[in-house]
Amino acid sequence: MPFKDGQFNVILGQDAWCHVPDKDKLIAECARVMAPGGIVAFTDWLRVGEMDGAYLENVLAAMVSPDLATLPGYTTMLERHGFSILCQEDISAAFIDQYSTIYARLEKLEGEISEAFSPKVYGIILGKNDSIHRAFSDGKMGGGRIIAELNAHDGMS
C-alpha cells in the first residue's frame, strides 16, 4: 500500500478480502501502516465447510475469487503480524439470509434482464449466483466478522 508506516488508527473492510490473492501479505501491510494500538475491523466471505474439486472451482469462479479464508486462518495471520483478536464471530446466518434475498430478487428479474441484455446473459448470471447460493445453502460458505488490535510493541512485521 502506498502509505507511510504507522499512518492509520483504523482500517475497515467489508466483504472484499476474499478477492485478495495473498491475504497474509494484505494483513502484513495493514500491520505496517497501522499505528500501535490501531484497530482493524472487517467482514468477509469465508469457507465454513469442506469444498474441493469442481465444487470449489465453481464457487471461486462465480465469486471471481482466488480462494476463501477461514476464521481460524484469519486469526492465525492476524496474530502472526502482531494483532490481538478482540472479536471473532461467525455471522454466516446473516450472510445466508442476505444472499437468499439477493438470489430470490435475481430470479424475479429474469424477464427484465433477458429483455435488456439476452436470455443467455441472464443464464450466465443465474448460473454464477446459483453456485454461490448453493455453497451457502450447503453450509460450505458463510461469513465472519473480525476486530483486532495491533499490539503496541509489534507495529511492523
- The model's pLDDT over 11-70, given as tens digits with 9 standing for 90+, comes to 999 999 999 999 999 999 999 999 999 999 999 999 999 998 999 999 999 999 999 999
Q: Are 146 and 42 in contact (CB under 8 A)?
A: yes
Query: 70 by DSSP, 3-state: which?
Result: coil
Query: 5 by DSSP, 3-state: which?
Result: coil
Query: What is the structure's pLDDT at 155?
Result: 44
Whole-structure pTM value: 0.88
Domains of the chain are 8-150 (3.40.50.150)
Q: Which residues of 117-129 are buried (b: 16+ CB within 10 A; e: fewer)?
A: eeeeebeebbebb
